[in-house]
Amino acid sequence: MVDVILGLQWGDEGKGKIVDYFAKNYNYDVIARFQGGPNAGHTLYVDGKKIVLHQIPSGIFHEDKINLIGNGVVLDATTLKKECENVAAFGVDYKKNLFISERTHLILPTHRALDKASEMSKGQEKIGSTLKGIGPTYMDKTGRNGLRVGNLLDKSFTTDYIKLRMKHQRLLDNFNFHEDINAWEEEFFEALEFLREFKIVNGEYFINEKIQKGQRVLAEGAQGSMLDVDFGTFPFVTSSNTISAGVCTGLGIAPQKIKEVFGISKAYCTRVGSGPFPTELLDETGELLRNTGNEFGSTTGRPRRCGWIDLVALQFACMINGVTQIIMTKADILDNLEELKVCNAYKMNGEEKSFVPFQMNKGGLEPVYQSFKGWQKDITGVTDFAGLPTEMKTYVDYLNEFLGVPVKYISNGPGRDQLVVA
């Protein structure tokens, strides 16, 4: 049996915290990442200390859990090495609990360089990529050129690497990109030695055998549904399928094995990088959300764009993911607001509509809002649903009804146990 936890917005919904909580409290045996790479930044608090995970699944701090980096992920060996050193400082025995699929594609230093070169060439139209080499690595996967973790054991690995590097060099020359990447390459080869010592497995047999034995698997999404390469705000998206369908291809799991799909949404909305964001607030309320919510990128430190919750986009995300339960995070960030707004329709070409269009940044799209009274109470210490303010329950009831999927959990602080079950 497989359950999924994924983001319903543009990323940073609080997936790391929720996966860490669920892994422990709902007895999952295996936590698996199925897509994305070090563009992700998942924040956890362990023993009161903050740690950000980029590639290691967020179940790693529970010693009885197995963590798997699936075939759908793109892996940066250098980042992984640093991350392993970080988690080891918390006493984690990653050599015992972390497994990597042999089909996982490797991010090469030239992929990072190509990401940078491509973004620079786009000028004002840049995606706002994290520049971790994600796009070029997935391009080499679908273009059938990439190198995979399993290839590390091939005798021809170095020759194959050089061949691909030369191909990349020609592309970089076309971009007129001449930055020295020798230092990246040196680190990369050191990190490959480190990677060779890992438990490299056939991920699909590995996970299906566990499911067969009745073990519980939790698939951890990265990024968010609106950054999905097919259904997000293309071209301002990432390069993988971030939605629940990605679990099947990213781990080798059949669709009927998936049971619950937990979708996470903030009580408001954020986006980092370029692209349409209908409910973005460019005023002091947006600034307030950013400062109160500490909305600065976990991977790049960039300020996140902030705005009201967008129920049209959220309903769309629930539909394409088959969300069965919603987890609302960062509700405490709205504690001091007198008034809250939710977008429940888009005005396009003068008409009110409630669907996500082909291109959100066309047709003069404008959000239509409904206002709610703020609760103006500190909710960070609340431990049960009955203890939440009435105004907040009204807000949640509206979401439940609009989305047709229940908000079952409310996160009221970054702490490991700050989660109210409805």
Q: Which of 132, 290, 330, 341 binds ligand IMO (CB under 6 A)?
A: 132
Task: Answer for the pair 30, 69: CB distance below 8 angstroms, yes or no.
Answer: no
251 phi, psi to nearest 5 deg: -130, -15
Residue 272 interacts, among ligand GDP, Mg ion, ligand IMO, none and using kind-specific CB cut-offs from 5 to 8 Å, with ligand IMO
User: To the nearest whole angstrom, how small is the minimum distance from the Cβ of residue 203 to Mg ion?
Assistant: 24
Percentages of the chain per state (helix, strand, coil), in multiples of 5? 35, 25, 40
Q: Which of 3, 20, 42, 76 is catalytic?
A: 42
132 contact, one of ligand IMO, ligand GDP, Mg ion, none, CB 5-8 Å limit per kind: ligand IMO
Binding residue for ligand IMO, selected from 21, 22, 31, 41, defined by CB under 6 A: 41
Phi-psi region of 14 (alpha: psi -120 to 50; beta: other; left: phi over 0): left
Place of tokens 């807000």: 395
Cα–Cα dist 353/262, whole Å = 27
* Only segment of 131-139, 193-201, 205-213, 359-367 that touches ligand IMO (CB under 6 A): 131-139
- Helix (H/G/I), strand (E/B), else coil: 43: strand
For 266, the enclosing helix (H) or strand (E) is strand 258-266
The answer to whether 77 and 192 have CB atoms below 8 angstroms apart is yes
- Decide: 9 and 242 in contact? Cβ < 8 Å: no
Out of 12, 76, 140, 310, pick the active-site residue: 12
Cα-only R_g, the chain: 21
Q: Does 11 bind ligand IMO (CB under 6 A)?
A: yes
Residue closer to ligand IMO, measured from CB, 97 or 240 = 240
Number of other residues whose CB lies within 10 A of the CB of residue 339: 9
Active site residue 12: yes
With respect to ligand IMO, which residue has the nearer C-beta, 327 or 388? 327
Q: Is 321 in the site for ligand IMO (CB under 6 A)?
A: no
8 Å CB contact between 49 and 236: no
Check binding of 222 to ligand IMO (CB under 6 A).
yes
Least CB distance to ligand GDP at residue 346 (A): 25
**What is the contact surface with ligand GDP in residues (CB under 6 A)?**
7, 11-17, 41-43, 298, 329-330, 332-333, 411-414
Q: Is 168 a catalytic residue?
A: no
Q: How far is the CB of 333 from ligand GDP (least distance, A)?
A: 6
Q: How far from chain centre, in Å, is Cα 47?
A: 23
DSSP-derived pairing of the beta strands 351-353 and 339-348: antiparallel
Q: Which of 7, 14, 59, 414 binds ligand IMO (CB under 6 A)?
A: 7
Assess 130 for contact with ligand IMO (CB under 6 A).
Answer: yes
Q: Which residues bind ligand IMO (CB under 6 A)?
A: 7, 11-12, 39-42, 127-130, 132, 134-135, 222-224, 227, 238, 272-273, 298
Known catalytic residues? 12, 42
